[in-house]
Structure 1
Amino acid sequence: MLRRVALPTLLLSLGCFALASLASAYVVQKGDTLYRIAARESVTVDELKRLNNLSSESLSVGQNLKLPSEAAKVVKLSGLEVEAPSVVRQGEAFSVRLRGARAAEARVRFLSETSEDVRSPAEDLAPFGAGGEYAVLGRVVLGQTKPLVYEVRLGSERITGSVPVKNTLGRVQNLNLPSSTTELLQDPGRAAEDALVEKAYARRTPQAWTKPFAFGNAIKVISSGFGQPRRYNKDAKITYHYGVDFPGKVGTPVLAINDGTVVIAGTYPVRGGLVVVDHGLGVVSLYFHQSKLAVKIGQKVTRGQKLGEIGTTGFSSGPHLHLEVRVRGEATDPADWFGKLLP
């Protein structure tokens, strides 16, 4: 699997941002050749050499290479400049960026969602921002492999674009959990719990954050990564890990990843001690399995504020924080958010 390191993104405060490159860097591994990397990325060796100013085809382990397949592509419409990623991966949060005097008038839809198992498919989205720099947030559903199709409309004009979706998920993990554990998923209270969370996903409030997202907890180890396909037992349906698990001692503070409003704070059969924060624009963060909660519904919170404490409540086999970041209800990789104002 390619090891990628995100390049820095230029950000401005108060909702304004620069239209920065979406390029990423690939770290050369032992056994890599320029030909093998080009084949994996579906590009030519000459493209890689030109992008990286290489005079030869020799590589060194640890060398950083720019990958052209990750560069943004820009199109124009009546003076409006539209920037979209040229490739996305399953579970990715991304931005379609709009620049120009009429950027605020444009509307964006993701037409491919009409054929996907997705919440609020092809929702008509108004861009947010200021000063001629605007954006719309997109998401790629886990398990989706067909190209993403977007539409940008400005008055009577419209353009569409197609973006390939990469499958970067690993092999299916068979957890083989005992029936005594999986029975928790059949708790009679689960339906009400899920319905409550779905209401949070349906919220569409103004952008509440003006600073990059940050994971302030002193937890550095991930016990279970985002997007892992899994079965609870050999006969079960394949599901995905919709968040990231951070193990920690019971009582370790759980901190808000950005500003927002608490819309759920309580203890539930599956998610255990749960806090959900609405950050606006259809973005919510969820914090599972807490032993104690430190906030109430309706409370405004700021980035880094304590929400509760790590525990092992609900469907949990040990003390940890399960963190999710959802865009209009669909799970996105938290790593796409940290250190950024926008993904």
Structure 2
Amino acid sequence: MARGGWGIRMGLALSLALARPALAQEPVRYTVQPGDTLTRIAARFGTTVSEIEAANGLTNPNLIYVGQVLLIPAGASAPSPGRIHIVQPGETLYRIALRYGTTVARLMALNNLNSPNWIFAGQVLRVPEEAPGASTVWPSPFVEIEVGAAPAIQGRVFPVRVRLSEPAALEAAFLGVNYPLAPTAEGGEGLLAVPAMQAPGVYPLALTARRSDGQTVRVHLQVRVAAGPYGREAIRLPPDRQSLLDPRRIREEQEKVLAACTPFEPERRWSGPFRYPVANPEVTSPFGTRRSYNGGPYTSYHEGLDLRGTVGTSVYAPADGVVAFAGPLVVRGNAVILRHGWGVCSGYWHLSAVAVQTGQRVKAGDLLGYVGNTGLSTGAHLHWEIRVRGIPVDPRQWVEGVE
């Protein structure tokens, strides 16, 4: 993929460039960047955490999030790039001094330190202005980190791109799922998923770089998750299909789907927008709808898009991929699963017949099978879903939000 294009339209990526200088007496609006803390922001502007809290009505200084706009109290000094350094685990004052081309004595004097041994991870240190390396924000080998527009939305994906100063294997950890990042000439990139029923809030995102010598470096960010526009739907199953709701059957089949969908492949097979897998698509049930079966609680949700169709309607590949599964399933009926790379897969359920074989490479527009009414279905239709590392995400983002 060309540098600068994500394929998925996430809005403008969040840059890590420091805020431009402002007049000392003018109010300043500062956009929170990955890795920021109120302590770091206060040090950058020559103010205090309590003053920023008061100016913005903050009740918890630990719950700021990337993309949040903070009002910096009038009278705060303009920020100077590279004025501070955030102490990382394992760092010493001597190592920090070497990194910025200064001395331990100068760092101690500038930060009122009584001992070179009394520093701790997360501590904010001022760095002499003339230090040549002072513009570095992240611990080596991290140079730059970009994430998608804030906030992240339930049931959708957001991109992450990392630029490194040296080759390293990159991995992101978010909401209990590990996402290897595909290597690029400058570092790595990938897509992370927000589960559709994840409670809105602020959640940690960890990025780990594993160097060739085995050493690991980790940075931590905060990502805010907002609610998606999902409704509710009550479904009544005919008596002859109610047995398909057996938890054991559902669990066993889910394991088969995850085995086909979860593996990460660094090759990105798709390019540009996904197509709808049927001609003249008409959505009959959107992604994310909270579902109740036969009067039960709304504890599940619709993991894909239902598209109207009659038995025998052709189903096509929406993007290039490799067939990871092709055959019958109990709940999903006759099914096809494609792997598109980067941990992205797509599924096609309730087919009347399958037209591909496992291991077959397909191009966008190739025939996969035919619409049917097999498995846990109340009428002929195509259930289409997309997963990232096994997590279902809204297919509409891939066809309507793609450049």
The answer to whether the 8 A contact 2:335-2:350 is kept is: yes
Is 1:296 aligned to 2:283, yes or no? no
1:23 is aligned with what amino acid?
G
- Amino acid corresponding to residue 224 of structure 1 in structure 2: S
1:152 — aligned with what?
A: 207
Match of 2:302 among 213, 216, 241: 241
Among 137, 143, 148, the alignment partner of 1:80 is: 143
1:60 corresponding residue in structure 2: none
1:110-162 CA distance string (max 9 Å, x none): 25x24xxxxxx3x2x44225332631221111211242311123466432111
Greater shift, 210-219 or 220-229, is seen at 210-219
Equivalent residue number for residue 23 of structure 1: 11
Partner of 1:260: 321
Deviation at 1:170? 3.1
Give the SS at the match of 1:338: helix
> 2 CA distance for matches of 1:203 and 1:156?
23
Q: Look up the match of 1:205.
A: 265
Sort the Cα spacing of 1:220 and 1:171 in 2 relative to 1 into closer, same or farther, 3 A.
closer
| CA separation of 1:254 and 1:175: change in aligned 2, threshold 3 A | same
Deviation at 1:17, TM superposition (A): 4.1
Q: What CA distance in whole angstroms lies between the structure 1 residues aligned with 2:168 and 2:180?
A: 8
Does residue 220 of structure 1 match 2:251?
A: no
Per the alignment, do residues 17 and 295 of structure 1 end up closer, same or farther by CA in structure 2, a change over 3 Å counting? farther
Q: How many residues align?
A: 276
SS in 2 for 1:223: strand
Equivalent residue number for residue 308 of structure 1: 369
| Distance across 2 between alignment mates of 1:189 and 1:141 | 22
- Separation in structure 1 between the aligned mates of residue 262 and residue 197 of structure 2, nearest angstrom: 22
**CA displacement, residues 165-204 of structure 1 (integer Å, 9 cap, x when unaligned):** 1112434322244544432323986554333212113322
| Residues 98-109 of structure 1 mapped to structure 2, 5 A cutoff | 98-102=162-166, 105=168, 107-109=170-172
CA contact (8 A) 2:155 2:393 kept: yes
Higher Cα Rg, which structure: 2
Where do residues 89-238 of structure 1 align in structure 2 (5 Å cutoff)? Answer: 89-102=153-166, 105=168, 107-111=170-174, 113-114=175-176, 121=177, 123=178, 125-132=179-186, 134-145=188-199, 146-154=201-209, 157-186=217-246, 192-216=252-276, 217-236=278-297, 238=299
Structure 1: which amino acid aligns with 2:170? R
User: d(CA) in 2 for partners of 1:126 and 1:84?
Assistant: 15
**Paired AA for residue 188 in structure 2:** Y
Q: Report if aligned partners of 1:262, 1:298 keep a CA contact under 8 Å in 2.
A: yes
Does structure 1 retain, via aligned residues, the 8 Å contact 2:265–2:342? yes
Residue matched to 2:311: 250
Tell me, yes or no, if the aligned pair for 1:212 and 1:338 is still in contact at 8 Å.
no
CA 108–305 in structure 1, closer or farther in 2 if over 3 Å, else same: same
CA 1:290 to 1:81, structure 2 compared with 1: closer, same or farther past 3 Å? same
Task: Supply the distance in 1 between the matched residues of 2:352 and 2:264 (Cα, whole angstroms).
Answer: 29
C-alpha distance after superposition, 1:84-107 (max 9, x if no partner): 1321111111111123554x5262
Q: CA deviation at 1:70?
A: 10
**Closer, same or farther: CA 157–72 of 1 in aligned 2, 3 Å:** farther
- Decide whether the 8 Å contact of 1:88 with 1:164 is kept in 2: yes
Helix, strand or coil: the match of 2:266? Answer: coil
Q: Does structure 2 retain, via aligned residues, the 8 Å contact 1:19–1:97?
A: no
Q: What SS does the aligned partner of 2:284 have?
A: coil
Normalising by structure 1, we get a TM-score of: 0.70
Cα distance between partner residues in 2 of 1:187 and 1:100? 46
CA contact (8 A) 2:290 2:299 kept: yes
CA deviation vs aligned residue, 1:21-80 (integer Å, no higher than 9, x gap)? 8438xxxxxxxxxxxxxxxxxxxxx99xxxxxxxxxxxxxxxxxxxxx99699x952462
| 1:194 to 1:19, Cα distance in 2 relative to 1, 3 A | closer
Structure 1 residue 297: deviation in Å? Answer: 1.0
Which consecutive residues of structure 1, in runs of 5 or more, have no partner in the other structure? 1-10, 25-45, 48-68, 115-120
Question: How far apart in 2 are the matches of 1:215 and 1:244?
Answer: 13
Separation in 2, partners of 1:326, 1:281: 11
What one-letter code is carried by the residue in structure 2 that aligns with 1:335? R
Structure 2 residue runs without a partner (length 5+): 13-28, 31-64, 70-135, 210-214
What is the identity percentage for the equivalent residue pairs of Structure 1 and Structure 2?
Answer: 30
Whole-Å Cα distance in 2 between the matches of residues 187 and 22 of structure 1?
36
